[in-house]
Structure 1
Amino acid sequence: MTTTAWQVVRFALVGAVNTGTYYGLYLLFGLRLPYLAAHVLAFLLSMVGSFFLTSYFTYRTRPTWRKFLLFPLTNAANFVITTVGVYVLVDLAGLSARYAPLIAAAGAVPVTFLLSRTIMLRPDTTRTHESLVETVASK
């Protein structure tokens, strides 16, 4: 199996854990909050855990502040897709607010993988610059 294929498998596993975390929080918050508020809060909290699992397990890279700050950008597409999906499924299609997030999340997976891979595997500019300086200095 190629490196990318293994990343897809690990991404799917992290996604399953993250979805379970998100869904548990969504149901918990849904006991007291409207469904969209429960969705937003659960999404934000599960995103932090997702960042560390994605760093260490999916891409086997060191988490940095730069990646942490960029990681929410990768989830912006996920957030938009799932939020619109939840709204469409609940308010327009009449599906239960209990199951709509799971269906909406499936549509966001491919986009989230490509964006997270781009950010998490992007070389650190500082480290790249240091390597360039070392290479020039050794000649």
Structure 2
Amino acid sequence: MSPIKWQDIKFVRFLLTGGINTIATYCLYLALLNLLPYIWSYSISYVSGIFLAFFLNRFFVFKEHQGLKTVLLLPMIYVAQYAIGVLIVWLWVMTLELPEFLAPLAATLILIPFTYVLSKLIFVKPKTLSP
């Protein structure tokens, strides 16, 4: 049996904190869905999730950051994820005619690998090779 790699532990923590973030933002989405159209509900809950993701990734998942680079690049990752997520949500509801309340969960599941890889790139300092 091979020992668990540090990278595997980070990914598990990423999944756990992602689950917490998903539950929190999904509850917000459902609450807003009673008041607003699904795209607005998704957008507001998504922006809230960006702030929560920063703190969870910074202090629990990667436990490091690259200073201003991390602060500036994380929103860009989430803007890209948001654009793809809105497309997934729209396709889910309008093309596939599936329930609105499940749309953000589908978008989240589809985008997990994309988000993990890019988040790791901006939070974890590259290892330098010793001469």
Taking structure 1 as the reference length, the TM-score comes to 0.82
Letter in 2 for 1:111: F
Partner Cα separation in structure 2 for residue 86 and residue 77 of structure 1:
14
Please tell me whether the aligned partners of residues 89 and 103 of structure 2 are also in contact (alpha carbons under 8 angstroms): yes
Structure 2 counterpart of 1:45: 48
- Give 2:116's aligned residue: 113
Residue 102 of structure 2 aligns with an amino acid whose one-letter code is Y
Q: Does 1 or 2 have the higher relative contact order (CA < 8 Å, sep 6+)?
A: 2
d(CA) in 1 for partners of 2:118, 2:77: 5
Counterpart-to-counterpart distance in 2, 1:122 and 1:41:
31
1:5 aligns with: 8
Which of 100, 111, 135 aligns to 2:103? It is: 100
Could you report, residue by residue, the CA deviation over 1:59-90 in whole angstroms, capped at 9, with x for unpaired residues?
Answer: 01158444222111122332122211100000
TM-score (norm 2): 0.87
**Deviations along 1:91-121, whole A, 9 cap, x unmatched?**
1110110111111211100000000000011
Match of 1:87 among 76, 85, 90: 90
- Checking the alignment, whether the CA contact within 8 Å between 1:10 and 1:57 is kept in structure 2 is yes
**Highest Rg: 1 or 2?**
1
C-alpha separation in 2, matches of 1:105 and 1:9: 16
The equivalent residue for 1:60 is 63
Aligned length, in residue pairs: 124
Give distance in 1, aligned partners of 2:104 and 2:37. Answer: 14
4+ residue runs of structure 1 moved beyond 6 angstroms? Answer: none
Structure 2: tracts of 5 or more residues without a match: 127-131
